[in-house]
């Protein structure tokens, strides 16, 4: 993506947002609680967003997690670029780190993950009759969806779920506590803890923070919808995505003639697939036209800001948003553009670059 692509979060247009208070003050307490629970676990399933395999990492916890048996589950694989995903899997393989792309709502996908967990535990541990697996991950990567799918699979395989006891890690020997979990295997018995800890991500830089917000790990209101939409447009432009759409639309025109669109008046939440696809076409056309007419330099911060401002105006027409005050119109454009991106309607992306060396932390 180049130097400019890596510095998008520092663009001048972003500076009005001020200092971002990403997370509340109980972060340290939550981190301590997670570390204590991790001591009980024989293995960790670390859930990450497949679109941001590195940005969805909690840097503060990586030392602890890297010392545990771990499987990294890259969730929401259906929203990620498959070619880039293969490169990421090669990276994790070179780091000797087990990694599996999954869709947490798909039971077959989750079963593959559980099979891998069972295999790794059976290979590693033969002496302990009961093994515990803990699910961790930053907000909104799909921990709850994964746990729900595991619960359904576990209930089908083991209808009677007995309680388990496990020695706590503490100064007093022989102390036990009940731990609620789902049994997923027998001989040895393997349980997945059903109360995954919330790992609060440490934000090393604003670019990482914006990626987390763009994929929903941080509330839009914390960053600002317009700021996020600006960042998204900067990413699309610096990756020359509109140029790809232009070629795609030209091919479609050759096959089907002129591309007409229905009159799109309903709000984006309307579920009619035809209407949404027509809207996507209009949005892509607006971005293609502004990108094609752009004569500036994408590596120049001021030029890129000018292009993005023109794209906001074009998108207002594409979304059929009536003439309003600039800030209100930008807000409405931003909300709808972000929704389309998160639904995967603007394409499938991995926003993080694959590290250049396998020595980079995973």
Residue 138, in any domain of the structure = yes
**Whole-number pLDDT of residue 130:** 84
229 and 185 belong to one structural domain:
no
Domain stops at, among 194, 211, 235: 194
**Whole-number pLDDT of residue 8:** 57
For the range 283-286, what are the long-range contacts, defined as Cβ-Cβ under 8 Å and sequence gap of 24 or more? 283/315, 283/318, 283/319, 283/337, 283/340, 283/346, 284/242, 284/245, 284/249, 284/346, 285/249, 285/259, 285/318, 286/311, 286/314, 286/315, 286/317, 286/318
Please identify which residue in the block is written with the tokens 């023109």: 310
pLDDT tens across the length of the chain (362 residues) = 443 444 555 554 444 444 455 555 556 666 777 777 888 889 999 999 999 999 999 887 888 888 899 999 999 999 999 999 999 999 999 999 999 999 999 999 999 999 999 999 987 776 777 889 999 988 889 998 999 999 999 999 888 877 676 655 544 444 445 566 889 988 788 999 876 667 777 777 888 889 999 998 888 888 899 999 999 999 999 999 999 998 776 666 555 454 443 333 334 444 566 688 889 999 999 999 999 999 999 999 999 999 999 999 999 999 999 887 778 999 999 999 999 999 999 999 999 999 987 555 67
**Whole-number pLDDT of residue 203:** 79
**Whole-number pLDDT of residue 14:** 47
Q: Is the dihedral of CA 179, 180, 184, 185 positive or negative?
A: positive
311 and 171 belong to one structural domain:
no
**Whole-number pLDDT of residue 63:** 85
Residue 14, in any domain of the structure = no
279 and 189 belong to one structural domain:
no
- The CATH number of the domain holding residue 30 is 3.40.50.300
Residue 35, in any domain of the structure = yes
50 and 186 belong to one structural domain:
yes
66 and 136 belong to one structural domain:
yes
Residue 58, in any domain of the structure = yes
Residue 3, in any domain of the structure = no
**Whole-number pLDDT of residue 342:** 94
Mapping DSSP to helix (H, G, I), strand (E, B) and coil, where does residue 227 land?
helix
Mapping DSSP to helix (H, G, I), strand (E, B) and coil, where does residue 290 land?
helix
Query: What ranges in the chain are assigned the alpha helix state H?
Result: 2-6, 27-38, 62-66, 82-94, 107-124, 143-157, 206-214, 220-223, 225-238, 241-256, 273-293, 301-318, 326-342
Residue 350, in any domain of the structure = no
123 and 71 belong to one structural domain:
yes
Give the structural domain span for 178: 24-194
Number of folded domains that form the chain = 2
**Whole-number pLDDT of residue 196:** 67
Domain stops at, among 194, 215, 242: 194
């Amino acid at each position: 993506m180049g130097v400019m692509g890596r510095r998008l979060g520092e663009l001048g247009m972003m500076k009005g947002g001020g200092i971002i208070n990403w997370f509340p003050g109980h972060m340290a307490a939550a981190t301590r609680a997670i570390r204590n629970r991790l001591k009980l676990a024989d293995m960790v399933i670390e859930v990450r967003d497949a679109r941001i395999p590195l940005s969805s990492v909690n840097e503060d916890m990586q030392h602890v997690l890297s010392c545990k048996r771990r499987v990294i589950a890259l969730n929401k694989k259906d929203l990620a670029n498959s070619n880039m995903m293969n490169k990421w899997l090669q990276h994790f393989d070179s780091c000797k780190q087990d990694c599996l792309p999954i869709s947490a709502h798909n039971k077959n996908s989750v079963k593959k993950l559980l099979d891998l967990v069972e295999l790794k535990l059976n290979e590693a541990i033969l002496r302990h009759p009961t093994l515990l697996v803990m699910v961790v991950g930053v907000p909104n990567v799909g921990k709850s969806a994964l746990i729900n799918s595991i619960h359904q699979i576990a209930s089908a395989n083991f209808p009677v779920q007995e309680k388990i006891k496990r020695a706590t890690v503490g100064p007093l020997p022989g102390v036990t506590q009940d731990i609620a979990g789902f049994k997923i295997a027998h001989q040895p018995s393997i349980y997945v803890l059903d109360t995954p800890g919330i790992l609060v991500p440490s934000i090393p830089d604003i670019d990482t923070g914006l990626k987390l917000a763009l994929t929903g790990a941080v509330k839009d209101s914390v960053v600002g919808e317009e700021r996020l939409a600006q960042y998204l447009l900067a990413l699309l432009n610096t990756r020359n995505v509109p140029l790809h759409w232009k070629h795609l639309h030209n091919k479609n025109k050759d096959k089907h003639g002129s591309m007409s669109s229905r009159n799109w008046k309903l709000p984006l939440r309307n579920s009619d697939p035809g209407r949404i696809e027509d809207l996507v076409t209009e949005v892509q056309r607006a971005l293609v036209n502004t990108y094609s007419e752009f004569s500036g330099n994408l590596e120049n911060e001021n030029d890129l800001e000018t292009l993005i401002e023109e794209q906001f105006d074009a998108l207002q027409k594409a979304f059929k948003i009536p003439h309003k005050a600039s800030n209100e119109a930008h807000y409405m454009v931003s909300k709808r553009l972000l929704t389309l991106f998160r639904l995967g309607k603007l394409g499938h992306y991995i926003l993080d670059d694959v590290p250049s060396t396998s020595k980079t932390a995973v």
